[in-house]
C-alpha cells in the first residue's frame, strides 16, 4: 500500500540501481542513459525500457490500484422489484491460466500478463518463447525461486511442447504471437470451451498528412519503426502520404538516421540485430523479391544478422512487403492522393493492431480516427500508447481479441460474478409473480 505512483513519464522504481529519487529523476531518457555502462550497446537501453521498465510500471500500477479493482461493484441500476436487494459484481479468479509468449519482448510479454493473472488470483503456467533461450532459462530458474511452486510453473519448449501442453484443460489461455499459430490455439481451446485472449500482430499503418513539422515527424517515425530493429508488434509497418510529403520526408528520414545511428548503422552501437538467421532470411528475401525501389539503406550482412534501416518507395500492393507483417527495419512509403484514398486502402485490409496519424491538423487526426478501426490508435507518435497502463492494449479482428495492461489485464483474468442477495421484505410485490397465473389480467 505504500508503493509510489508510477507513470510512463516518470519511470521511478524502488530498485536502488535505478536511483529513483522521484524528485531528482523525472526524465527517463536522461536517467537511463546515465545508468548505461560504457561497455554496453544500445541493446541495454532498449531492453531496459521495453522489457524492465514497462513491466515495473505495470507491476507498481497494479500494486497501487489492486485494492480498488478488487472491490465488489455495488453501483448497479436497480428496478422496483429489486430495490430492497443487495446487487453486486464480484471479481473472482478464473483458475489455472496458461500464458504463451512471443520472442520479440520475451520478458515483458510473459511478465505483464503474469502480473495481471496473479493480481486476479489465478494459478499460472508460463510458456516463454523458445527462440530467446537465455530469457526462457532465466524465467525457468527464477520463477520457482521467488513464487510458490504450487501455483506458478514455467514450461520450456517450442511448438511440439506447447501442443502437448494445450491438450490439458485450462481456465483461460493468454496467447501472444502470430496469426497463423493463433488458429491452432483456438482449435486446441475449443474441446474444453476455454476462453482465449489473442495478442496478435498485423500491418500497422502510419499516415503522415497535411501541415506538419516534417523533421519532428521523421524523428518520431524512425524511433518507433527502428526501435528493437523494427521487431515490435506495434511498429509502424508502412507510411501513407502524398508525393509532396514523401519528397520532404525522405531527406528528413535520412538526416534522422544519421543522427540516431551514424553514417554506418551496422558499425555503431545503437542499431540492433535480427533475432535469428531464419527471421533474417525471411526479411532479406522480402527485400530481394520486392518490386519497390530502395531509397535509403538496403544493406544486409548474414554473419551478424544485420539489416540496415531501409526505406522503399513505389512498392506495389501485391508485393510481399505489403502482404505480410514486415517485423523488421524495412519501411515502405506508399503515396496517396487524398486522405480518403488512404482510409479506403486501410479499410480494405485486415484491422491492424495500431494505427498512427502524424499531422498538425487535428481534423486530419480525427477524420482517420473516426473512419477506421484498429486495436490501438496514436496521433503524432508511434508505439508509446502501449506503455500507459491506463489504456487497454489489444487487437481487434485479425490483430487479436481481448486486452490487458493495468486494470484491463486484471479484468481479463477475472470472472465478473453477478450476485444478488434478495431481501425478505416486500413480499406483496413478489406474490404478483406466483401461480396460479389465471388470477391475473395483464391487459395484453
Instruction: Please report how close the Cβ of residue 109 comes to ligand NAD at its closest, in angstroms.
Output: 6
Residue 401 as a binder of ligand NAD (CB under 6 A): the answer is no
Q: Is 400 a binder of ligand NAD (CB under 6 A)?
A: yes
Q: CA-CA distance, 362 to 108, in Å (whole number)?
A: 33
SS3 2: coil
The burial class, CB within 10 Å (0-12 / 13-18 / 19+), for 375 is: buried
Backbone angles phi, psi at 323, to 5 degrees: -105, -30
**Would you say 261 or 413 has its CB closer to ligand NAD?**
413
Q: Are the C-beta atoms of residues 305 and 280 closer than 8 Å to each other?
A: yes
Describe the crossing of helices 339-348 and 362-371 by its angle, rounded to 10 degrees. 30
Distances (CA, A) of 44 to 5, 53, 106, 382: 25, 12, 14, 21
Q: Is 402 a residue that touches ligand NAD (CB under 6 A)?
A: no
Residue 15 burial (10 A CB sphere; 0-12, 13-18, 19+): exposed
Q: Which is nearer to ligand NAD, 367 or 374 (CB)?
A: 374
- Centre a 10 Å sphere on the Cβ of residue 40 and count the other Cβ atoms it contains: 11
C-alpha 363/C-alpha 213 separation (Å) is 16
Q: How far is the CB of 99 from ligand NAD (least distance, A)?
A: 10
The 8-class DSSP code of residue 50 comes to I
Q: Give the integer Cα–Cα distance in Å for 325 and 202.
A: 5
Least CB distance to ligand NAD at residue 266 (A)? 24
Tell me if 178 contacts ligand NAD by CB under 6 A: yes
Taking CB under 6 A as the binding criterion, the range among 17-25, 52-60, 178-186, 356-364 that sits at the site for ligand NAD is 178-186
- For ligand NAD, the closer CB: 162 or 374: 162
Sequence-ordered alpha helix ranges (H) in 48-158: 54-70, 108-119, 133-146
Q: Does 411 bind ligand NAD (CB under 6 A)?
A: no
Which of the residues 123, 206, 222, 233 is marked catalytic? 233
Most distant CA atoms of the chain, gap in Å: 91
Which 225-264 positions form the footprint of ligand NAD (CB under 6 A)? 233
Give the phi and the psi of residue 11 in degrees, each rounded to 5.
50, 50
For residues 300-339, which are near ligand NAD according to CB under 6 A?
Answer: 325, 327
Q: Is 200 in the site for ligand NAD (CB under 6 A)?
A: yes
Nearer to ligand NAD, 205 or 210 (CB): 205
Q: Measured from the CB atom, is 6 or 199 closer to ligand NAD?
A: 199
Contact 123, 94 (CB under 8 A): no
According to the binding rule CB under 6 A, does residue 159 interact with ligand NAD? yes
Write down the catalytic residue from 51, 136, 199, 325: 199
Nearer to ligand NAD, 25 or 403 (CB): 403
- List the grid coordinates of 405: 495492461
**Minimal distance in Å, beta carbon 296 to ligand NAD?**
24
Q: Which stretch binds ligand NAD (CB under 6 A): 12-20, 31-39, 171-179, 266-274?
A: 171-179
Query: Binding to ligand NAD by residue 163, rule CB under 6 A?
Result: yes
Q: Which three cell numbers stand for residue 266?
A: 551496422
| 3 touches 20 (CB < 8 A) | no
The stretch near ligand NAD (CB under 6 A) out of 94-102, 116-124, 240-248, 314-322 is 94-102
Query: Does 162 interact with ligand NAD (rule: CB under 6 A)?
Result: yes
Q: Which stretch binds ligand NAD (CB under 6 A): 34-42, 51-59, 196-204, 333-341?
A: 196-204
Q: How far is the CB of 415 from ligand NAD (least distance, A)?
A: 23
Distance CA 357, CA 369 (A): 9
Sketch the per residue contact string, 99 through 138, with ligand NAD: x for CB under 6 A, - otherwise.
-xxxxx----x-----------------x-xx--------
SS3 state at 106 = coil
Q: How far is the CB of 25 from ligand NAD (least distance, A)?
A: 28
233 tagged catalytic: yes
Q: How far apart, in Å, do the first and last CA atoms of the chain sit?
A: 58
CA distance 201 to 288: 23
Q: Which residue is nearest to ligand NAD (CB)?
A: 201
Nearest distance in Å: CB 136, ligand NAD: 9
Write out the residues near ligand NAD by the rule CB under 6 A: 100-104, 109, 127, 129-130, 158-159, 162-163, 176-178, 181, 184, 199-201, 233, 325, 327, 353, 395, 400
Which residues does the annotation mark as catalytic?
Answer: 199, 233
Amino acid at each position: 500500500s505504500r508503493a509510489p505512483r508510477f507513470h510512463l513519464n516518470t519511470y521511478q522504481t524502488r530498485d536502488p540501481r535505478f536511483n529513483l529519487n522521484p524528485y531528482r529523476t523525472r526524465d527517463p531518457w536522461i536517467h537511463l542513459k546515465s545508468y548505461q555502462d560504457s561497455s554496453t550497446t544500445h541493446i541495454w537501453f532498449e531492453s531496459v525500457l521495453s522489457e524492465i521498465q514497462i513491466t515495473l510500471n505495470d507491476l507498481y500500477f497494479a500494486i497501487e490500484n489492486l485494492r480498488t479493482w478488487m472491490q465488489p461493484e455495488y453501483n448497479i441500476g436497480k428496478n422496483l422489484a429489486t430495490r430492497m436487494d443487495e446487487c453486486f459484481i464480484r471479481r473472482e479468479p478464473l483458475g489455472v491460466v496458461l500464458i504463451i509468449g512471443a520472442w520479440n519482448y520475451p520478458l515483458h510479454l510473459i511478465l505483464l500478463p503474469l502480473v495481471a493473472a496473479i493480481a486476479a488470483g489465478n494459478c499460472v503456467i508460463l510458456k516463454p518463447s523458445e527462440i530467446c533461450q537465455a530469457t526462457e532459462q532465466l524465467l525457468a530458474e527464477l520463477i520457482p525461486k521467488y513464487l510458490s511452486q504450487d501455483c506458478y510453473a514455467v514450461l520450456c519448449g517450442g511448438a511440439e511442447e506447447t501442443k502437448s501442453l494445450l491438450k490439458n484443460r485450462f481456465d483461460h489461455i493468454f496467447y501472444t504471437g502470430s496469426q497463423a499459430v493463433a488458429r491452432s490455439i483456438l482449435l486446441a481451446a475449443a474441446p474444453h470451451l476455454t476462453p482465449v485472449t489473442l495478442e496478435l500482430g498485423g500491418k500497422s499503418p502510419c499516415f503522415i498528412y497535411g501541415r506538419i513539422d516534417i523533421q519532428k515527424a521523421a524523428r518520431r517515425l524512425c524511433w518507433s519503426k527502428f526501435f528493437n530493429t523494427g521487431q515490435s508488434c506495434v511498429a509502424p509497418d508502412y507510411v501513407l502520404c502524398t508525393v509532396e510529403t514523401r519528397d520532404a520526408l525522405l531527406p528528413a528520414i535520412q538526416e534522422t538516421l544519421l543522427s540516431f545511428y551514424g553514417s554506418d548503422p551496422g558499425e555503431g552501437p545503437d542499431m540492433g540485430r535480427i533475432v535469428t538467421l531464419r527471421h533474417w532470411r525471411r526479411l532479406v528475401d522480402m527485400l530481394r523479391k520486392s518490386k519497390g525501389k530502395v531509397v535509403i539503406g538496403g544493406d544486409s550482412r548474414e554473419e551478424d544478422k544485420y539489416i540496415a534501416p531501409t526505406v522503399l518507395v513505389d512498392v506495389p500492393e501485391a508485393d510481399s512487403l505489403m502482404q505480410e507483417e514486415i517485423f523488421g527495419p524495412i519501411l515502405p512509403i506508399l503515396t496517396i492522393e487524398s486522405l480518403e484514398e488512404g482510409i479506403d486502402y486501410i479499410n480494405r485490409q485486415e484491422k491492424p493492431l495500431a494505427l498512427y496519424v502524424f499531422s498538425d491538423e487535428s481534423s486530419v487526426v480525427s477524420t482517420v480516427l473516426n473512419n477506421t478501426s484498429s486495436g490501438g490508435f496514436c496521433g503524432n507518435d508511434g508505439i508509446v500508447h502501449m506503455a500507459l497502463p491506463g489504456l487497454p492494449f489489444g487487437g481487434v479482428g485479425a490483430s487479436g481479441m481481448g486486452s490487458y495492461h493495468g486494470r484491463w489485464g486484471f479484468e481479463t483474468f477475472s470472472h465478473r460474478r453477478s450476485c444478488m442477495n434478495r431481501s425478505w421484505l416486500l413480499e406483496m410485490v413478489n406474490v404478483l409473480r406466483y401461480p396460479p397465473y389465471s388470477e391475473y389480467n395483464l391487459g395484453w
